[in-house]
């Protein structure tokens, strides 16, 4: 038995990457009463982690080649290296990514070893002035990036064409999930959701509520505790002239694991995006131990000094002519981190399958944009209500109650810091 029929009302909270994909897949499957709420006034929502010019793609590439998504997919290749200064942890991560690409029969053919500066300049002539000290790794010509904000817009339009309703801006800012009075079972209480209440105090009823609120999910589902930790990474851009932007057309996504990555400039604006990655920044409430994104966007409108310096080094080693240009569009971008870097796609316990949580992107979820909604559909339609993919289940809260696993995540370099400490060090 499925918890919802095609005519039942479904509310999706969040029109970021996961919420839009869910609306698309459910509408395509014939669900007729879907309403998506987002506190951002437009799509892309300025609060979405995917409100951005580009995101690295390494997976779901077949789905990115289908008609709705293909215009936003750019197969520029992925130059994946470490510099001479990289810690061993970064080298190990690079090697494990490489081994995984080389195991794949289709991808393997597109891997080019990079063992020297000459190898890089042979592949990417635009880096001919770069010192590239000790850079080693590989070029994967199979991978590339997506123009994320354009892809979000395209899916928003496709959803509207399929009859999905959108309530955006202040009227779409959700304060809480509403529940019936709990009923007592053998040893615990079960409560069924009836809908949601907005911050403007309007209620909307629904048979099923799907929470796709990214890093803000714990605001709406307090029982999540520290299963999800709001964490942020820096983003900065360099403004190029039209001529400079066209000279960098087609460069691969370039990632030195110890310094960060840069992308082909956005053709329409000439913006070259930079991201230093690293351990990121959390915003822990000392009372509860839960990290939440700051409420005001303006609070996240900067890049900490240490990140700024790493990005300058990345530019100095690749495109030294740009190393001293001012940064524009600096901000911290908040995502929903889990201890095992895996998603959560599951019913919230003890809600009689009336609330689904879709979160835990861990900073690498955009690549799944074309398909993530199909996982929700499978949960609703297949099986007995138990998520079959064990790693996507509601997680045991016992992992680490303080949520301090950031530094331990194998693929990240550097430790995480508290937002309140870095605010003082704006670059
Ligand atoms: C700097 C950075 C770089 C990244 N790079 C990559 C990459 O290269 N490749 C990749 O695959 N992924 C990347 N990601 C991750 C990717 O952006 C996320 O995985 C993806 O956006 C997660 O989608 P989501 O829908 O869960 O969350 P979001 O896209 O953040 O969307 C959540 C939405 O919920 C809304 N919302 C929240 N609370 C409420 C509320 N109470 N009421 C109404 N609406 C609400 C917000 O407005 C927002 O629109 C990166 C992330 C960051 C921060
Ligand atoms: C969708 O569901 C809501 C809430 O149950 C209901 O008020 C509305 O009439 C429904 N819309 C359609 C088109 O069925
Ligand atoms: C919200 O609306 C409900 C019922 O419509 C009302 O009882 C309550 O007082 C309102 N709350 C606020 C904060 O306005
Ligand atoms: C919405 O749900 C509440 C609680 O179940 C109910 O009292 C109310 O009548 C419903 N409203 C509509 C419009 O269906």
- Give the model's pLDDT for residue 16: 98
Looking at the structure, tell me whether residues 297 and 187 fall in a common domain.
Answer: no
Predicted confidence (pLDDT) per residue in 264-309, tens digit = 999 999 999 999 999 999 999 999 999 999 999 999 999 999 999 9
Ligand 2 nearest-atom number relative to CA 207: 5
For residue 37, give Cα distances in angstroms to 41, 158, 167, 168, 395. 10, 16, 5, 6, 26
- Give the model's pLDDT for residue 417: 92
Residue 163 maps to a domain: yes
Q: Choose the residue to mutate in 219, 277, 335, 364 for probing ligand 1, maximizing ligand atoms within 8 Å of C-beta.
A: 335
Q: Whose CA is closest to atom 9 on ligand 4? A: 205
Rounded to the nearest angstrom, the distance between the alpha carbon of 376 and the centre of ligand 2 is 21
Name the band, by pLDDT with cuts 50, 70 and 90, for residue 401. very low
Rounded to the nearest angstrom, the distance between the alpha carbon of 9 and the centre of ligand 2 is 6
Looking at the structure, tell me whether residues 233 and 331 fall in a common domain.
Answer: yes
Residue 4 maps to a domain: no
Residues 6+ apart with CB under 8 A from 262: 253, 254, 272, 273, 274, 275, 314, 315, 318, 319
Q: Mean of the pLDDT values across residues 361-378?
A: 97
Per the structure, how many domains does the chain have? 2
Question: Is residue 293 classed as helix, strand or coil in its secondary structure?
Answer: coil
Integer Cα distance of 251 and 120 in angstroms: 11
Residue 57 maps to a domain: no
Integer Cα distance of 76 and 57 in angstroms: 10
Looking at the structure, tell me whether residues 48 and 189 fall in a common domain.
Answer: yes
- Is the minimum distance from the CB of 204 to ligand 4 under 6 angstroms? no
By percentage, how much of the chain surpasses pLDDT 90? 89
CA atoms within 13 A on the CB side of 166: 26
Given a cut of 50, is residue 117 above it in pLDDT?
yes
For 99, the domain range is 78-142+229-337+419-426
CATH number, residue 204: 3.50.50.60
Residue 402 maps to a domain: no
Beta bridge partner(s), residue 333: 233
Q: Mean of the pLDDT values across residues 235-256?
A: 98
What is the number of the ligand closest to the CA of 61? Answer: 1
Considering only CA atoms, which of 148, 68, 62 is closest in space to residue 104?
Answer: 62
């Amino acid at each position: 038995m499925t918890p919802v029929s095609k005519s039942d009302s479904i509310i999706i909270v969040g029109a970021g990457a996961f919420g839009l994909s869910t609306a698309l897949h459910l509408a395509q499957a014939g669900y007729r009463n879907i309403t998506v709420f987002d506190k951002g006034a437009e799509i892309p929502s300025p609060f979405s982690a995917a409100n951005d010019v580009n995101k690295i793609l390494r997976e779901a590439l077949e789905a990115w080649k289908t008609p709705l998504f293909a215009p936003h997919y750019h197969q520029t290749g992925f130059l994946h290296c470490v510099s001479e200064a990289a810690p061993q942890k970064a080298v190990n991560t690079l090697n494990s990514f490489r081994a995984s690409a080389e195991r794949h029969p289709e991808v393997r053919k597109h891997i080019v070893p990079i063992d020297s500066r000459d190898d890089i300049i042979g592949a990417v002539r635009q880096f001919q002035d770069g010192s590239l000290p000790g850079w080693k790794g590989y070029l994967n010509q199979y991978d590339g990036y997506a123009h994320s904000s354009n892809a979000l817009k395209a899916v928003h339009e496709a959803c509207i064409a399929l009859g999905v309703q959108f309530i955006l801006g202040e009227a779409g800012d959700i304060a809480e999930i509403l529940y019936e009075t709990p009923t007592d079972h053998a040893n615990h209480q079960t409560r069924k959701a009836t809908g949601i209440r907005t911050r403007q105090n309007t209620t909307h009823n629904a048979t099923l509520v799907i929470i796709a609120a990214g890093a803000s999910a714990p605001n709406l589902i307090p029982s999540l505790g520290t299963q999800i930790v709001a964490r942020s990474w820096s983003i900065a851009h360099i403004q190029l002239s039209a001529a400079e932007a066209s000279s960098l057309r087609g460069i691969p996504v370039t990632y030195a694991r110890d310094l960060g990555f840069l992308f082909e400039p956005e053709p329409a604006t000439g913006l070259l995006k930079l991201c230093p990655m690293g351990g990121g920044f959390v915003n822990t409430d000392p009372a509860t131990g839960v990290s939440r994104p700051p409420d005001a966007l303006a609070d996240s409108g900067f890049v900490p000094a240490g990140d700024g310096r790493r990005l300058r080094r990345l530019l100095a080693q690749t495109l030294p002519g740009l190393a001293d240009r001012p940064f524009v569009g600096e901000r911290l971008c908040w995502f929903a981190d889990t201890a095992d870097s895996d998603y959560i796609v599951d019913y919230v316990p003890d809600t009689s399958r009336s609330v689904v949580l879709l979160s835990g992107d861990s900073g690498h979820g955009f690549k799944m944009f074309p398909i993530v909604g199909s996982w929700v559909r499978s949960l609703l339609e297949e099986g007995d209500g138990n998520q079959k993919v064990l790693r996507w289940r509601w997680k045991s809260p016992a992992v680490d109650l303080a949520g301090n696993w950031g530094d331990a995540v194998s693929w990240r370099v550097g430790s995480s810091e508290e937002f309140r400490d870095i605010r003082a060090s704006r670059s």
